[in-house]
Amino acid sequence: MPIQPRMRPTFEIAMKNDGTRTMARIKHRLERGSTRVCGQVVGCHAYLQTPPATQSLLSPHLNLELRPGPHGVILRGRFSPRPNVWTGFVAVYAILALVALGGLMFGWAETTVGEYPWGFWAVPGSLALMAFVYGASVIGQGLTQDEMYVLRNFVDHMVTDAERLEPHCEDAAAGATDDTSDVAPETVG
């Protein structure tokens, strides 16, 4: 089954416990220092990113949150672009929606006075530009998939098999233990 592109990809890890040990482990690892991941942990929330020296305009951020789920606690992760980039995407969509609405109103006004409704052309034009902006976000995800992998891999190594409701596919295949302290810093951090 092909992966469907999404504006802000998410993932969930079902936990056996309340997840506080996982967040504490993430916080400890970030405080120790990492060459590949930095961020902060506050309570049941974490914010991860690549180090500022390696970031580009499109570099992703990973927001983690512990949430109640149907069978216990779920660690939910959501990738998003930098806040200023995300705000720019939302602003472009809002402007294009307003242009489409203005085109509808102007076209309707032209129709009521018996003129050719040129304003209606703003609607398909705005929709086409919205599709272009969506395509740009998908291309941006493709350009930063290596960074997204680093962030997700970091999280996967911080959540031990004993804390997962379902074993991680790599853990089950390798017969990994619950201890992540022996994982090389290059792999985790």
User: Which residues are bridge partners to 42 per DSSP?
Assistant: 45
The whole-number pLDDT of residue 3 equals 59
* CA pair distance 161, 100, nearest whole angstrom: 50
The whole-number pLDDT of residue 142 equals 82
Confidence (pTM): 0.69
CA distances to 1, 5, 43, 95, 148 from 145, in Å: 19, 12, 28, 29, 5
The whole-number pLDDT of residue 170 equals 53
Q: What is the architecture of the domain spanning 10-82+151-179?
A: 2-Layer Sandwich (3.30)
Amino acid identity of residue 33, one-letter, is G
Tens digit of pLDDT at every position of the chain (189 positions): 455 666 678 888 888 888 888 888 889 898 888 778 889 999 889 999 988 888 888 888 999 998 888 888 888 999 888 888 888 989 999 999 999 999 999 999 999 999 999 999 999 999 999 999 988 888 888 888 889 899 998 988 888 777 777 765 554 444 444 444 433 344 444
